[in-house]
């Protein structure tokens, strides 16, 4: 199995990841001189696609396992960090991408403080997190199905928009705009797929991974699930079509938040 191909195959059959990439591809403007920190690169798929826009990238993650999976895609400038500090110089970056990472760290306030430190004044933070609140009923369904936060590697269920805006303001950021994606239909499909993988397909959980274990985490694991993936590929067009019903939910918020913020002070 080609070390890049397995991730690209997963992406081609994804729902939420493709929607997130489409939003970023449309809105993320990168200059050739940009210095970009990709904080929480995971297995590197979105980073690999987005860095085609140019700029100088540094990729960081908590998990050595993630970095090993990401290396065939990203090739260089990969560093392992911890949840308390970044081994990087202050004011080194013009942009920080922090996609589906903040909910995985123990101390999110410290994480935002470190992002502020390594970002230049007027630099841009692009942040993706799960959204939560009293009307996000699928979070309750997830618990009812027996899926725990640790299955996803999450330290918290998600964030409310006003809560996250307050956190960002305390750490020197001003939100310029935001978007949501993964509304009801996309989210329930992803939830059921996660349930099937965790409860029926994954041979055993890998302890301590910051991403949890809701999908194949390596080329070897993907190969082990080849038959299941072929079956999923057959039904994927139907699932993708169902997920597009989200467009009818014009007054509904998505289960994922994408926020653009500017550093206005140290």
Crossing angle between the packed helical segments 16-27 and 5-12, to the nearest 10 degrees: 100
For residue 37, is pLDDT > 90?
A: yes
pLDDT digits (tens, 9 = 90+) for 78-135: 999 987 889 999 999 999 999 999 999 999 999 999 999 999 999 999 999 999 999 8
Quote the pLDDT of residue 208: 58
What CATH number corresponds to the domain at position 122? 3.40.50.150
- The confidence score (pLDDT) of residue 201 equals 87
* 87, 90, 117, 123, 170 from 265: Cα distances, Å: 21, 13, 10, 10, 10
Q: How many domains does the chain have?
A: 1
Residue 2 has pLDDT above 70, yes or no: no
What's the average model confidence in pLDDT over 237-241? 97
- How far apart, in whole angstroms, are the C-alpha atoms of residue 263 and residue 172? 6
Q: State residue 221's pLDDT score.
A: 87
pLDDT in tens, 39-82: 999 989 999 999 999 999 999 999 888 898 899 999 999 999 98
Task: Please tell me the pTM assigned to this model.
Answer: 0.91
Q: What's the mean pLDDT when you consider all of the chain?
A: 92
Residue tagged 């809105």 (tokens): 27
Domain that holds residue 95: 5-263
**pLDDT for residue 156:** 93
Residue 237: pLDDT band with limits 50, 70, 90: very high
Instruction: Please list, in sequence order, all residues whose beta carbon lies within 8 angstroms of the beta carbon of residue 45, skipping any fewer than 6 positions away.
Output: 7, 8, 10, 11, 17, 73
Mean pLDDT value of segment 178-182: 96
- pLDDT (average), residues 205-222: 75
């Amino acid at each position: 199995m080609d070390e890049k191909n397995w991730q690209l195959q997963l992406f081609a059959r994804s729902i939420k990841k493709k929607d997130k990439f489409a939003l970023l591809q449309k809105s993320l403007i990168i200059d050739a001189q940009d210095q970009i920190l990709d904080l929480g690169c995971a297995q590197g798929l979105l980073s690999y696609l987005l860095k085609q826009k140019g700029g100088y990238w540094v990729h960081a993650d908590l998990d050595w396992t993630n970095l090993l999976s990401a290396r065939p895609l990203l090739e260089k400038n990969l560093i392992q960090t911890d949840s308390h500090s970044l081994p990087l110089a202050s004011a080194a970056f013009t942009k920080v991408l922090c996609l589906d990472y903040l909910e995985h760290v123990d101390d999110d306030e410290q994480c935002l403080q470190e992002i502020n430190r390594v970002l230049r004044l007027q630099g841009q933070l692009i942040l993706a997190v799960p959204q939560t609140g009293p009307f996000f009923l699928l979070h309750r369904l997830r618990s009812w199905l027996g899926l725990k936060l640790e299955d996803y590697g999450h330290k918290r269920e998600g964030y409310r928009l006003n809560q996250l805006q307050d956190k960002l303001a305390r750490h020197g950021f001003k939100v310029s705009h935001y978007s949501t994606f993964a509304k009801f239909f996309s989210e329930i499909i992803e939830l059921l797929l996660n349930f099937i993988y965790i409860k029926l397909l994954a041979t055993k959980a890998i302890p301590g991974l910051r991403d949890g274990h809701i999908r194949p985490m390596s080329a070897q694991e993907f190969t082990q699930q080849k038959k299941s993936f072929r079956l999923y590929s057959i039904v994927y067009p139907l699932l993708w079509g169902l997920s597009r019903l989200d467009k009818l939910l014009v007054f509904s918020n998505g289960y994922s938040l994408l926020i653009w913020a500017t550093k206005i002070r140290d």
